[in-house]
């Protein structure tokens, strides 16, 4: 083992998770020494897309870790050094963070985007939580509102407009600016999806090639459907978290899950159509062709998933299967669950008895189902 080249060990360390990297530091060999160095030099890069006070959109960034990199401004040299020990790269819209992050100058943006596209990180996360946009909009408006108004309400209800006074087109820009500076103890805005659509479309149209380089997509909105399909078509996307599965046909999700790249699919589903279709496909395939140990997570099922009984799911004791439980724990965050109240099950492959799907079921304001394909 001591004769293994350092470059090989470093490439293995890049592919490991945080827990494995931390444990390897205690190994008394070259592996342990390099793991300790990698641990000190590891870091992550976060990129933010947001507008400034003049409604101009920019890219912002922050570096976490990389203690050996003294210069914190992005440049070709910094990218070159980061690439040796970067563990994750995240891109997200968040209005609350931009004032604390460094902005990429407009003159440097094209070059920086090209460098970002070439940056190779073990995890590249694309985070489109719709709550981020909601918080961003509320923060921007509330900051400008005055203190004398008691209620401000905005709604696109066209049934009311015929009875209301219209703001003249010549005065609209000025009135909008005045409205934006209003403040009130109660503020009601029925505009979230419209705001999201405008902001989202602007961003996607501005950085289409950049967004397609990501390997992980997190979102709660159906507005990412087209982008989601494009990302899947690149063959680079290995994780989708909380998609609106109802908006896309079941076969799309099944094909994606069994693609060579996919490792994880997570969603809030009102039914188990997608999950049952995945199980059915698995039963009719050679499980040895699976590229990874894949996971499926389904949150907030209202009723206990009785449909699993029809696919041959049988309960197994957790005590004698601690190794399986530990594998779940390393892939999924189970801290909010009482393991003693969770149940473990297994679905055996009808042909290859060495292959199984392990199913862990917990309850947290609804039944949460975690599936591990082995």
Domain boundaries defined on the chain: 6-40, 132-191, 265-374
> Tens place of pLDDT for every residue, the chain, 374 residues?
556 666 666 666 555 555 555 555 556 566 666 667 667 778 889 888 877 777 677 889 989 888 888 888 899 999 988 888 888 888 877 656 666 788 998 889 889 988 988 888 877 887 765 444 444 443 343 343 454 454 555 554 445 556 677 777 776 766 666 665 555 444 443 323 444 444 556 666 666 666 666 677 776 555 566 777 777 887 777 777 665 556 678 888 888 888 888 888 887 665 678 888 989 999 999 988 886 778 888 777 766 667 677 888 889 998 888 888 888 888 777 877 877 788 899 999 999 988 999 998 887 777 888 889 98
Length of the chain: 374
CB atoms within 10 A of CB 85: 21
Enter the DSSP assignment of 208: H
pLDDT at 330: 81
Backbone angles phi, psi at 162, to 5 degrees: -70, -20
Q: Look up the pTM and report it.
A: 0.59
Strands (E), the chain: 43-51, 57-65, 86-92, 102-103, 123-128, 151-154, 186-189, 216-219, 239-241, 264-268, 295-301, 313-316, 343-348, 356-363, 367-373
pLDDT at 6: 60
pLDDT at 137: 40
Sign of CA dihedral 174, 180, 184, 188: positive
CA gap 35, 13 in Å, rounded: 7
pLDDT at 282: 93
pLDDT at 8: 65
């Amino acid at each position: 083992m001591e004769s293994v080249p350092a470059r090989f060990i470093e490439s293995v360390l890049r592919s490991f998770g945080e827990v494995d990297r931390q444990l390897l530091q205690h190994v008394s060999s070259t592996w342990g020494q390099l793991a300790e160095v990698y641990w000190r030099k590891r870091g992550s890069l976060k990129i933010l897309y947001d507008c400034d006070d003049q409604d101009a959109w920019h890219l912002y960034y922050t570096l976490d870790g990389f203690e050996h990199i003294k210069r914190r401004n992005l440049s070709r040299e910094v990218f070159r050094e980061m690439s040796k020990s970067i563990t994750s790269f995240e891109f997200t819209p968040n209005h609350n963070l931009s004032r604390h992050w460094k902005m990429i100058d407009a003159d440097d943006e094209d070059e920086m985007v090209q460098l970002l596209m070439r940056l190779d990180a073990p995890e590249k996360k694309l985070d489109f939580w719709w709550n981020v946009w909601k918080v961003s909009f509320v923060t921007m408006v509330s900051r400008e509102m005055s203190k004398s108004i008691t209620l401000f309400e905005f709604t696109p209800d066209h049934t009311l407009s015929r009875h209301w006074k219209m703001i003249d087109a010549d005065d609209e820009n000025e009135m909008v600016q005045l409205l934006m500076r209003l403040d009130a103890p109660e503020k009601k805005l029925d505009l979230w999806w419209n705001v999201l659509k405008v902001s989202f479309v602007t961003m996607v149209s501005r950085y289409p090639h950049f967004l397609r380089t990501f390997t992980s997509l997190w979102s709660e909105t159906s507005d990412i459907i087209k982008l989601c399909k494009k990302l899947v078509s690149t063959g680079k996307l290995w994780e989708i978290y909380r998609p609106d599965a109802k908006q896309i046909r079941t076969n799309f999700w099944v094909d994606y899950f069994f693609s060579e790249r996919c490792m994880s699919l997570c969603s809030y589903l009102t039914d188990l159509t997608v999950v049952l279709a995945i199980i059915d496909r698995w039963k009719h395939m050679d499980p040895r062709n699976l590229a990874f140990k894949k996971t499926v997570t389904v949150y907030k099922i209202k009723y206990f998933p009785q449909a699993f009984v029809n696919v041959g799911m049988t309960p197994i004791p957790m005590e004698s299967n601690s190794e399986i439980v530990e594998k779940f724990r390393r892939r999924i965050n189970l801290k909010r669950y009482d393991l003693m109240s969770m149940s473990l099950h297994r679905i055996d492959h009808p042909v290859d008895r060495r292959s199984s799907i392990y199913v862990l079921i917990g309850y947290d304001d609804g039944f949460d189902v975690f599936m591990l394909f082995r």
